Every structure is written in C-alpha cells, then in structure tokens.
Chain A
Amino acid sequence: MENITFKLDGRICTAEKGLNLIEAAKQNGIFIPTLCHFKHLNPLGSCRVCTVNLNGRSVAGCTIQVQEGMDIEVNTIELLDTRKAILEMMFVEGNHFCPSCEKSGDCQMQNLGYETGIRFTRFPHLFVDRLVDARPERIVINQNRCIKCKRCIEEVKTADGYNVFSFTERGNSTKVSIDYKQEAKLSEIEAERAMQICPTGSILVKGKTFSKPFGDRQFDLGPEGKLFSLDKIKKHRTKNKKKRIATTSLAGCFGCHMSMLDIDLGLLDLLEVVEFNKSPLTDLKNFTEHCDIGLIEGGCCNTNNIEVLREFRKHCDILVSVGECAIWGGLPAIRNTFPLEECLREAYLESMTSEEGATIIPNHEDIPKILNKVYSNHEVVKIDYHIPGCPPNANHIWNVVKHILFEEEYSIAYPEFKYD
C-alpha cells in the first residue's frame, strides 16, 4: 500500500493512503476524540465530536480518508471549544445522571467530558422525559443516556442479518428504538457486545450491571501524571488578614460538606488562613461579615434556596458551585422531566403510605414554595467557579479554595476530576 504525507496541526505525518483520519492521527500520536467512529464501521459522521479543519473547512474527522497533501488542523483553540460545546450539547440534551449510572467510570462520553475539562455546561439542560425500555428480552435501553451515535444501529445485527436497532421519529424527537423480535434472537454474548459498543450507558444487559462491579472503570485514573489546567483565577478584593468563607447546602444532601471535612489535616492548615462565617460547620445562621468565598452545595428547588443563594451572592466576593447538584441540578433534577403536579401527587397524595383523602400537598406561608423545576445555581446568580463531582474529591475542593485564596492558577489531578 502506498504511503502518503499530510499535515496535522502543521506537523508532517505519514500514513497509508485512504486511511481513516482518526486512525491515521492515532498512528502519528495525535488523539482525535470521537464517539460514533468505531473501528471498521462506515464513517457515520453523526456525533461530530471529531470536527477538524480540512484545508480550512470544518468537517467531521471520521469522514476523512487521508490523501497526499491534506492540511488538517485538530487542536486549535476554536476547534477544542467546538468539540467541548458538542459534548456539552449531548450532556444537556439527554439526562446524564453520572452518579446513578451503571456505566459511570467506563463511559466514553464521560471520559471525553473529563478530557475536555467540562465542569459545567454553557447550555441550559433541556430535561426531556425519555423512555427507559425494559421490555426487550436481554437488553434495557435507557433513552436518557442515548447520544444517537448510531453505532448500535450499524453494528448490532442478528445471526441471520436483521438490524436490531433503528432510529425512529425525527428532529428533536429522534431516538434509537429496538426491535423486540430481533432482539430476542441475540445471544448473551451478542447482547453484551451491544452494551460494550454503546459509548454511554444507554444499552444495558439485564442482570449484568449490578451483580458485580460493572466495567473496569477504565477511565477513572487517566494517563498517569495528567493534570487538568482548569481556571484562570480572577483577582478579588481581599484586605482581610484571615480570609472568610461561608458555606451552605441548598437542594443537596450535605455529601459535599462531608467531603469538605475529608480534607482531614488540610483543615488545620485551612483554619490558619481562613475563618468560617455563615455555614453549617459554624452553625452561624446569618452573615455577620462580608466574605471572600461562598461555597454552595446543591441547586435550587424552592424559593428559600433562591433567597439564600441571592444572599450569598450579595455577601460573597466569589461564589463556587460545589458538586453536581449545584452545577446543574444533579439527582434532585431527576424530577425535572416530570410536571411538578405529578411529583407532588406522587409524594404526598398517592404514595404507598398516604391514605386517600387524608393527606394534602403541604402549603403554608411559612414554608417555601416548590419551584417548577430544580435550577442550577448559575441560572439564578453568577457563579465564578464550578467543582464537579458527587461529591467532589476533597483534594479537588481544597485545591480550588486554596488557589482562589492565593490567586494562583491551579490544576487538578485526573483521578480527582469526576462527575460521580
């Protein structure tokens, strides 16, 4: 086979003529992230994460067969941002609750989220109600997590050549549907293979997910020594000798606060340089002084959350969303795909323990009103930093706080940057 030379980010590379760009780049030591491209499959060009510039025009990398003289840009600032944005679109389009997902740690989409350093999405989450279909024989298909990459549609076939999956509907309702009759023909091994080629946790095999640790969490550690350079630290007005920190938990579980305590001995160092103001840790209910940093756990699910959050914004120079709930709603936001009335009826009127006609939906002027959905904090006030995780790793929290206080840029070690 003929070898050709082409340019990747200005570097001369060689590969076999006509080779798929993703593979050709890999051979030359350049990683182009992709979610739909899969070994021998026809280029699908559906996820668009691999978008690159070919001779100045943007095109999906997986659809390129390398030819002599091609000039390809992969990692320009703009392309890196486009790629990140497309991944963010996937996060907001589906309902990706990493902390409760069987495939967390072994999910290619989550991995690319880490790789591109997504801490929060620039787009608002759409929270569309999606089907979890457990009717098939072996497979459970969870539409919440599907990114419509088409891999399963192209790749999973029965022994006699029938497709098991297909796109149905169109536009924003497009989804991957499963053929029950054909699915029943799949062997256990074939079904597991379908689960493996799914880049997210959308295809699961019954009985294979919780019986033993599922997957080997191949993406947890990442390349050794790899760090995320995450944020430019902004200057803040800080004349206090001892910096003041306030914390609160809104619609959260206090897990993030627990994780803060996990800073362990670091806490003693911390107390040398900071004092805590309003916080469950000090049990101060109100701000007594203006603070430098406010750490917010949990999102906003009721009017009180909004008020507290606004108060924090008023009294703190810098606000940090700590944990998945604060960043985009997290587990409480599971209710966002249902109408509020349905949630309240289920909780107070039609639950297993409520007697018919004996309960009401609580309401009183003294109790806060429930919002129509759980809002992320940055939808309500401006948030300066985001620390992902459920809960975030103690080191991660400590790192961020420390570096904000000292106004230094910081990096996070790969294993400490997680969504679950």
Chain B
Amino acid sequence: MKRTRLLSRLWEFQNKYGYIPDNAISEIAQKLRVSKIEIEGVISFYHFFHRKPTGKYIVYLNNSIISELNGFKDIKAAFEKETGCTFNSYDNNPLFSLFETSCIGLSDQEPAALINFHAFTHLTPEKVKSIIEKLKNYVKLDSIANNPVCKIQYTPSENKTIFFRNYILGNSLKKIKPNTQNKLLAQIEKAELKGRGGAFFSTAAKWNACKTSNSTKKYIICNADEGEPGTFKDKALLTNYPGLVIEGMILAAYITGAKTGYIYLRTEYKYLLKKLKNTLMEFEEKGFLGKNIQGIDNFNFKIKIELGAGAYVCGAETALIESLEGFRGEPRIRKHFPTENGYLGYSTIVNNVETFAMASRIIELGANFINTIGTKQSKGTKIISLAGDIAKPGIYEIEWGMSVQEILHLSQATAPHFVQISGPSGECINETEFHRKICEEDLVCGGSIMVFNKFRSIIQILENFSKFFKIESCGACTPCRAGNQILYEKILKIKRGICTSKDLEEIKEWGKIMQSSSRCGLGQYAANTLIMAIDKFNDYFSLKVASCTDNCNVEFDMQNAVYDYDLIINTQINDVN
C-alpha cells in the first residue's frame, strides 16, 4: 500500500465500521511501515474520521454564521431531542451520532445538515422530527434527502455570460489540435486569468512554470475543497458544468505535459461524486481522457477523484498536497512553489475549480472576446455565492466591476449593514463602502458575499468567525494556534460587557502580530475581519465598551468570578436541607 492511498483507505474503514478501530490502525501502520501514532495523527486531523463507534447515521449540522442566524440552535436542540443523543459526543447510540461541522456549502439553504453525507436543507424542528422518525422506521436515506440544487439567480446579458452559457462537451478541447501548447497558453495569458480561489495568482505564470519545469512527472490538481464559510460557487460549477472544469484540467495537462490529474473533492460534496465520475466516464468514452487523447500521440491523461475528510485548511494548496500524499493537512513552509516541488516532489499545478472552468471558456471563446468583458485588470466574469439577509440567496455570475450596491439590489437585500466579502478570512465593509466595485482595482472577492442586516449582532458574527479559525487552524505554528484562541477569549470578554477601549486596541495590535508572523494564509488572514470591524463599525463598538485613558483601572467581572462558588455552596446547602 502506498502512503498516498492513506485517506481513501481510512475512508473505507470509516464507512464500513462507522469508526476507525485500533486493529485497522495497526494494519495500516504495518503496511506503511510507520508508527501507529503517525496514523492516529492523520486520523485526528480530519474531523470526519472517528476513533470511537458512531451510529448508523452520522449527522453533521453546519454551525456557520448563516446557519446560526437561521435557527441553528433550534435545529440542534431538535436533533438532540429526537435522537436522544448529545452533539459532539460519542454516546453509543446504535442509530445516531451528532456532530457540528464548519460550512458545508449550503449557505443559500440554511439551516442545513449532512446525514451520512446526504444533504438536508431548510431544516425546521418539525422537519428534523420527521426525518429522524423516518430513519428510525427504516426509510431509505436517499429517498428523503434533499437534492441540493444550486440556484443560479443572476447571469449577465446573454452575450456577456461566460460560465453559465450553453455548454457542449469538448468545445474547448476541439481547439487543442489546431493549436500549439504555446498558443493555448498565450490565450490564457492574454485573458489575464488569475487564480479564482482567492489568491489571484496569474494562472498563465503558474502553468508556464510547470510547463518549463524539467520534473519527470507532472500533476494537475483541481482544488474542490471549497471550505471558506459562505462559499458554494465551486459546487455550482461542479453540479451544473462538471465538464467545463474537467476540460480545463485537460487543457492544463496538454499545455504542461502532465499525465495524471486529481480532483480533491471535499467530502461535504460527496453527493456530487457520482455525477463527477459519470462525467469522467463520458470524457473517456469520447476520447477526451485516456491514451492518445484526440489522436494526439503521447497525449495521455487520466483524472482521479480523491475525497478530503473535513479540514478547512486543506483548501490551501500545499496543505491539500500534503493531504493527498496521506499526511496531516499542514501547509508547507513557503520555500518552493508547487510548480517546482509539489505532489510527491514533482511539479504540480493546483488550481481552483472556477479557474479551470474559466480556462476552458477562454480557450473556447477566445481571449479577445473575454477581454471585452470586465474591468481593466479583471477580465470576464466572476461567480459569487450570495447568502445572508437577502431575499434571493444563491449563485450570481457577475461581470467584474459590478458594485456591491448593485449586487445587494439584485439579491433584494433588506437593510444591509455588515457585508462580508470573501468569507471570514476576507474583509467586511460597511454602508459607506457599498459603492465599491468587485474587481482587482477595488475590492477583490474570492467568491462569497454574506450580507447581514442592521438587526444582526456584529459581535455574534465575529465570535462565529473566530471560533471557526480556532478549530480549523492546522495547529503547526504558534501565532495562529495560540493567537486565535487568545482573540476568541477577547471576543467573549466583549460579549460579557467588560471591555474597555484598550481591549479593542489590543485586539488590533495582537491581530497584526498574527498577520505578520503566521506560517500560512489561515493565520495571516484570520484576524483581518475582526480588526477591520472595529474600525468600520466604530459606533457599534463604542457602545459595547467603556472608553478609557492610559491610566484607567481594568474592568473586573466580580459577579462572574464568584458565580461558581455561589452555585456550589447553594447546592451544598440545598443538599443538607
């Protein structure tokens, strides 16, 4: 057995037994000739792997902020009431186990949960009751699961739509034969395609680095680990146009000479697996995948799908590579680009789902056409997932350069107040910034916009984000691992109402230390929103905290400090009586 097979092997055990038993670990460790603790280390990194028996149905209830604002608490209580189980614990119920999980990419249909990775959306306590009853009565899971459609709410006028226009399988691949690799790459370069996962690194530069690398093997990896809370745009592409994404990968393979590709699919989207596999098969049947593709000698390319196992940080390209190799998904130190030293040490391209889809549209439609759309620096269109306090949540394909105001108008936002761009690690904007345009010149957006109206508690939003980072940090570097815990404590302090303006200053200073010293993007961006929110929602925070000068006394919450003691003594007195 190869180490790269580790995650899929663990999945086999997880699926078969509901957990990964000791003897399975021994067996794997023996086969891989590594110590058992190393395998334990991998298992405990991914939160969909369990080390204790679980019930027949594992419920993963999303605890993202969108879910929280749409009744998460009630749904959680309903699940506990109906099943008699407690969340996040192993209580030996043969039928059910309940866990919370980070965003599952259904922010337009919250509250939502996955039961054995089937989606259940728009949950209500009544709906939970009926689901659990049916499952108890042996009703088949897939017969009652929801089909999590991706509602495409908006596309630009027909001639400006790029992604969600008519798709015919193989349209971009037809351009392979009459063109050289250089010509195809020139098209990508001309259209100035930049990584759509949120880092906006030049795709042509990345592909060129892989193309010119003299690595003996090359790999194309599609990053379908869309974990940023509030984002579900990649899911929309994989659901509606999986072929477009695959074509992009094939183009990348043709240009660089890679023979193998991987789609690293987050397990939260496991319900897309069948469709993806079928699409891959269709490609093979039509001669777009396999050997001598399109009759081109030595153009061999195959694509495999690998499932993640629940870890947000694996969306970072080097963490994803580590995960594919069968290790804990800890991002690598920034020493080499994956195009120099990637998967198994070979030159590797990791691109986001949308980037591949865009690449194939560029080849299909031509860079000249793409360049007529968008702004000077951002060409074409962008897919945005919109959620929150809006009447029309869902997928929006927008022309780069559209203003936040227009988007809010299209989505029929009600009293928008706090708008989160690009998820928790992105940035927040207030009303004075709604005129800003979504494009590289102004406000970049990785793919998610969450709208919160003025009745929402900002501190609740920030607490949710902070908790998310605290749990999802890979834990390998001090500023991110400890810093996120420390900031979370500060937010709790604000919530308790015992903060002074000095605490806010400290949050900003401490956040900056995390930004400058963390090992990867997760820690570097984790404090962004918090720091920005303090400045941008000054009025809100000034009501929350007591202002203080340099010499002020610290606030101390005596009531909270003696609460435990009073409780213990009261119980003791009651017991005696």
Contacts and interface: CB of A to CB of B under 8 A. Distances in A.
Interface string B291-334: 00000000000000000000100000000000000001010011
B138 interface: no
A93 B470 CA distance: 13
Interface range, A side: 35 or more
B15 interface: no
A174 interface: yes
Contact of B477 (A48, A92, A162): A48
A165 B37 contact: yes
Nearest to A344: B568
B47 to A, nearest CB: 8
Interface string A298-310: 0000010010000
Interface in A137-196: 147-148, 150, 161-174, 177-179, 181-182
Contact of B572 (A48, A93, A303, A361): A361
Contacts of B566: 369
Given A167-B328, A170-B44, A303-B562, A45 B475 contact: no
A172 B481 contact: yes
Interface in A227-249: none
B364 interface: no
B553 A313 contact: yes
A291 interface: no
Q: Is the interface of B mostly helix, strand, loop or mixed?
A: helix
Interface range, B side: 35 or more
A46 interface: yes
B475 A167 contact: yes
B542 interface: no
Contacts of A58: 516-517
Given A46-B478, A382-B553, A166 B35 contact: yes
Nearest to A364: B569
B484 to A, nearest CB: 7
Contact of A171 (B41, B472, B560): B472
Contacts of B556: 306, 375, 379-381
B37 A372 contact: no
Contacts of A167: 41, 45, 328, 330, 475-476
A13 interface: no
Contacts of A371: 561-562, 565
A288 interface: no
Given A122-B506, A172-B484, A379-B556, A148 B475 contact: yes
B486 A51 contact: no
B543 interface: no
Contact of A63 (B330, B335, B482, B518): B335
B41 A360 contact: no
B433 interface: no
Interface string A337-376: 0011100100000000000000011010000011111010
A86 interface: yes
B517 A86 contact: yes
A284 interface: no
Interface string B558-574: 10111111101100100
A122 B511 CA distance: 13
Nearest to A158: B35
Contacts of B1: none
A123 to B, nearest CB: 5
Nearest to A58: B516
A263 interface: no
B241 to A, nearest CB: 33
A63 B35 contact: no
B481 A93 contact: yes
B478 A89 contact: yes
Contact of B470 (A89, A171, A373): A171
Given A89-B482, A163-B38, A372-B560, A170 B568 contact: no
Contact of A360 (B335, B485, B560, B572): B572
Nearest to A182: B35
Q: Report which residue of B36, B47, B470, B477 has the largest number of chain A beta carbons within 10 angstroms of its beta carbon.
A: B477
A168 B478 contact: no
Interface string B535-577: 0000000000000000111101010111111101100100010
B45 A170 contact: yes
Given A45-B333, A162-B35, A163-B35, A124 B486 contact: yes
Contacts of B406: none
A361 B564 contact: no
B485 A363 contact: no
A361 B568 contact: yes
A168 B40 contact: yes
Contacts of A32: none
Interface in A43-69: 43-49, 51, 58-60, 63
B471 A372 contact: no
Contact of A126 (B40, B44, B486, B513): B486
Given A46-B519, A86-B479, A148-B478, A166 B38 contact: yes
Contacts of A169: 44-45, 475
A148 B330 CA distance: 13
A150 B562 contact: no
A139 B330 CA distance: 27
A172 B475 contact: yes
Contacts of A173: 475
B561 A89 contact: no
Interface string A54-95: 000011100100000000000000000110011001101100
Given A89-B483, A174-B475, A177-B40, A43 B553 contact: no
A96 interface: no
A170 B330 CA distance: 10
A278 interface: no
Given A174-B481, A369-B565, A168 B489 contact: no
A171 B477 contact: no
A363 B572 CA distance: 10
A178 to B, nearest CB: 7
B569 A363 contact: yes
B325 to A, nearest CB: 15
A89 B36 CA distance: 31
B471 A172 contact: yes
A63 B333 contact: yes
A139 B556 CA distance: 42
B513 A82 contact: yes
B465 to A, nearest CB: 14
B551 A382 contact: yes
Contacts of A47: 477-478
A103 interface: no
Per CB-CB distance, the 4 closest pairs between chain A and chain B, nearest first, are: A174-B475, A179-B37, A166-B41, A89-B482
Given A169-B45, A172-B481, A372-B560, 6 more contacts: A47-B477, A51-B516, A170-B471, A179-B35, A340-B568, A370-B565
Interface of A: 43-49, 51, 58-60, 63, 81-82, 85-86, 89-90, 92-93, 122-124, 126, 147-148, 150, 161-174, 177-179, 181-182, 303, 306, 313, 339-341, 344, 360-361, 363, 369-373, 375, 378-382
11 contacts: A82-B517, A86-B478, A124-B486, A172-B470, A172-B482, A181-B36, A306-B561, A371-B565, A380-B554, A382-B551, A382-B554
